[in-house]
Amino acid sequence: MTPSWDGGDDGMSAQQPLSAVVVAHPDDEALWLSSVVASVKRIVFGFGDVWDKPQRSEARRKAVAALPLRGIVNLAIGESGVKWQSYLAKPQLTPWGVQILEPAVRERYQSNHAQLLEGLRPALAGCTDVYTHNPWGEYGHAEHIQVYSAVTALQEELGFTVWFSNYVGPRNWIFVRGLAQRLNWAQRRVVKPDIVTARALMRVYRHHGAWTWNSGHRWPAQEIMYSQPPTSSADALHLLSGEWLLDVGRLRWWPAPWRSPWRRLSHPEEALGTTV
């Protein structure tokens, strides 16, 4: 399969910083990375066909073709069919994403990791900054985690800085609180989601029946982006523990009353109750 390139100027001039968004599924860019989606030079979609769902696959193809975005690179790798809900609470992280128990699914899932590397290597060559899923796959989606794994596997070779946003789910919160004790970031940026662009994208997906998230999603006023530079960077690193995440389970227009979506990852010593 050959990645489709769109957008003419690919921004490869020597001085111009080149940035990219890499997401697993079409519509993830609108949900989790809208603050940068209109300004990056490339938007890479990892997966195309929905496992065993030809109609939804066709709907997604039509939606991607109709997106008002420039620089789309659609790798269109077939989804693995992983039942990610089974793995979100206590995922075992592996070099290709998460440990999958069913042998046939595991084989497809691991093969997808290799295909992601093959497709992402040329797509991200020359990039200085790559925005992608966070290490816990937002609400715990195993294919989001896999895309983060594939992007970071290429980081040292290609030399870019990885950025991710701070969304989390209600059901993987405890896992993320533990993971945060060994995750580092270098820069933190408080940004505004581009809600106008995100809603325009959502309308295209919904028109084609390819929107995979709930229809009452409420984008927050602010979100946070964290950077992970390559190891050659001299930037000081900070622990993710103590930081604030956005709980997607609370980002809904209904039912009211809303609870704040902001939840703080307690420090390890706080979690143990040894400090006030």
Under rule CB under 5 A, which residues in 147-186 are in contact with Zn ion?
Answer: none
Instruction: Look up tokens 């580092």; give the residue.
Output: 184
Residue ranges with strand state E in 48-122: 72-77, 93-94, 97-98
Q: How far is the CB of 126 from Zn ion (least distance, A)?
A: 26
Per the CB < 8 A criterion, the answer to whether 42 and 10 are in contact is yes
Give 31 or 162: the residue with its C-beta nearer to Zn ion: 31
Under rule CB under 5 A, which residues in 97-116 are in contact with Zn ion?
Answer: none
194 binds Zn ion (CB under 5 A): no
29 binds Zn ion (CB under 5 A): no
* Sole binder of Zn ion in the list 19, 20, 28, 74 (CB under 5 A): 28
Give 32 or 163: the residue with its C-beta nearer to Zn ion: 32
25 binds Zn ion (CB under 5 A): yes
Q: Distance (Å, rounded) from C-alpha 41 to C-alpha 155?
A: 18
Give 82 or 180: the residue with its C-beta nearer to Zn ion: 82
* Sole binder of Zn ion in the list 18, 22, 24, 63 (CB under 5 A): 24
Instruction: Look up tokens 């505004």; give the residue.
Output: 192
Q: Distance (Å, rounded) from C-alpha 38 to C-alpha 21?
A: 10
Q: Which stretch binds Zn ion (CB under 5 A): 20-28, 83-91, 214-222, 244-252?
A: 20-28
- Taking the CA atoms of 88, 94, 99 and 103 in sequence, report the sign of the dihedral they define: positive
Q: Distance (Å, rounded) from C-alpha 19 to C-alpha 17?
A: 7
Interface with Zn ion (CB under 5 A):
24-25, 28
